[in-house]
Chains A and B, each alone.
Chain A
Amino acid sequence: MAKYGKAAFVLLIIGVAVLLGLPQLELISQATLNIFTLGIIWSIATMSLNLVLGYTGQASLAHGAFLGIGAYTFGIMAQRVGMNFWLSLLIACLMTAILGFLVGLPSLRSKGPYFAIVTLCFNVIIFKVFENWTWLSGGYQGQKVPRPSFLTERWARYYFALVMLILVILVVRQIVKSLLGSSFIAIRSNENLAESVGIKSFSTKLLSLTVSCFIVGLAGSLLALQNGYLDYTITNYLYSFYLLIYLLIGGVASLAGPVVGTFGLYFLLWQLEKTMGEFSEFRWLMFGLLLIVVIIYFPMGIVGGAKRFWEWIKKKYYSRRGEVYG
């Protein structure tokens, strides 16, 4: 496993290098650059879900709400309070992490599908509150989000998001490789067994959720920054579903999976919207069918499927040369 992890990491670095060069070479249009930036930001959000679902095994369906809370904290701090950009960003992440901690306290007592439903309910509550409490959210009109002077250009925001994505990948990698990461994985595999070897499962799960919320708060702030405005729909529970889909199609519990899944699906949907013209509503029908087919035939996602394919090729290669593989 470690071998493939390394290979995936190298591939990821190459991918990032290509992404770094794109705007400089002026290979892509301004609209495409915008889509790429959004893809990067959603990848960060998917990375955060990967930490709590992929590694710790807790299916949080509240990440849409946490994304919105991060975005709104950032927006309110920067616009209404008039705080400095970096400070607002930090407060947004901290606020989301604190809320994640508070939500985790009651909800992490329940397990499996119960936890998924509780978090989904929390997301619906947050959505309804933001929809109806217009003083907080600005209602249908939403509110403006100011951009600092160094992030007014599209390519600057692109690079900023990219740097943040790399940072998040490195941080998640460090966590996963550490002893803490092993405890996460132990809880995912068998919670009772993990408890019996001395892992405090509740506080470990709580820590995983809190860190995950810190990261998704960052993604929310970046999203608000990129769009330049905010309305209550950013807390929609559909985003929780989307993140789940990106993660599972990309491949759970891998570093490359969330990025591959998010970019692939985000780009695919955008391309479908462009090419299908007046039938573009039907892209969701194709998307739905694709989801069912992929989850049935590639339950480990794109990255998991690629790993299996690679393994299969290797086996063929070695057996032809008459050597024993392994």
Chain B
Amino acid sequence: MSFFFNQVVIGIQLGSQYVLVALGLTLIFGILDISHFAHGHMYMIGAYLLYVVMVLAGINYWLALIIVMAGLAIAGVFVERLVYKPLRGQPHINGFIAAIGLILVLETFVRGIEPEALRISKPIEKTFHFAGITMEAQRLIVIVGAIVMIILLHLFIKRTRMGTAIEAMAQDREGAALVGISVNKMAALTFAIATALAAAAAGLMAPMAFIAPTMGSILILKAFVIVVIGGLGSMKGAIVGGYLLGIMEALAIAYISSAYKDVFAFGILILILAVRPTGLFGGREA
């Protein structure tokens, strides 16, 4: 039984990074109608920036995490301004192509500078034992860190004027424009928040995994699966879907087969959408 609970904990930890990435994706989709397929590669850039700040500049982990989030927030604004803003109002698929272009640029750039996979040392090398569950300190940091981020995002959206403006735009873009909410400002803000969330996920996960130029590509597919299962634009759906996928994946690795783990994740999506074509929580019609 303790094996089972250990797997669930691993699943929650996997789910934590999925939730953070999927939240950014669903925010961008819900507010701007963009399939930001390069979001996983922004996550990858976040992990590399953490390496630069921590290992090359020698700054401690917690400060580095904040620097990386701020840096990626600015990078997100640049991406929106340079790539997606000129494409506003065009068919959905054009933004998708631009995102693939961005993926190629980012991945080739990073691979050109540093082709080898890198490692970052863990800030706290400790393992806790509690009721049969073995818990690495970093695993706890990922889980708690993700929850803190989710709560902060929730407070920002519900309790501040800017957050309310974002929610208003997600509900009704024309209505929001009518009462004087600037689309340009909100687009930049959304990209800043979403990319900072991806950077947080990367920063939390980086000490537990290798850093490689392709680390974002399968992650973004899973994040899209989560966003689609939860319903495009639904934040509640992204949170529930993210943890669910993480736990199911960890259990599938343990009890069924690790080679086919992605097959399960994507197969479940096809099944769900065959029954409910707009996701479990009924996201917006496309």
Contact = CB atoms under 8 A, between A and B. Distances in A.
Interface string A222-235: 00000000000000
B211 to A, nearest CB: 19
A197 interface: no
B83 interface: yes
11 contacts: A111-B286, A118-B269, A121-B221, A124-B266, A128-B260, A245-B97, A245-B100, A288-B100, A288-B105, A288-B108, A299-B90
Interface of B: 29, 35, 83, 86-87, 90-94, 96-98, 100-105, 107-109, 111-112, 221, 224-225, 228, 232, 259-260, 262-263, 266-267, 269-271, 273-274, 277-279, 285-286
A122 interface: yes
Contacts of A124: 221, 262-263, 266
A281 B111 contact: yes
Given A121-B269, A129-B263, A288 B101 contact: yes
A-B pairs with the 9 shortest C-beta distances? A112-B286, A288-B104, A291-B101, A106-B274, A121-B266, A288-B105, A292-B101, A285-B108, A110-B277
A124 B109 CA distance: 25
Contacts of B228: 113-114, 117-118
Contacts of B91: 299
Nearest to B82: A292
Contact of B104 (A53, A107, A285, A296): A285
Given A285-B108, A288-B103, A288-B105, A107 B262 contact: no
B221 A114 contact: no
B273 A118 contact: yes
A282 B110 CA distance: 11
Interface in A269-326: 281-282, 284-285, 287-292, 295-296, 299
Interface in A159-208: none
Nearest to A122: B270
Which of B92, B103, B107, B274: most chain A Cβ within 10 A? B274
Contacts of B86: 296
A244 interface: yes
A281 B213 CA distance: 13
Main secondary structure of the interface of A (DSSP, over half): helix
A50 B190 CA distance: 34
A125 B105 contact: no
Contacts of B35: 113, 116
Interface in A109-150: 109-114, 116-118, 120-122, 124-125, 128-129, 131-132
B97 A291 contact: yes
Given A125-B263, A281-B108, A288-B104, A111 B277 contact: yes
Given A111-B277, A114-B286, A281-B108, A132 B221 contact: no
A248 interface: yes
A59 interface: yes
Contacts of A248: 93-94, 97
A107 B273 contact: yes
B273 A109 contact: yes
Given A292-B101, A295-B97, A285 B112 contact: yes
A116 B279 CA distance: 14
A267 interface: no
A198 to B, nearest CB: 22
Nearest to B224: A117
B270 A106 contact: yes
Which of B87, B232, B259, B269: most chain A Cβ within 10 A? B269
B94 A121 contact: no
B260 A132 contact: yes
Contacts of B263: 124-125, 128-129
Nearest to B231: A114
Contact of B87 (A53, A132, A290, A296): A296
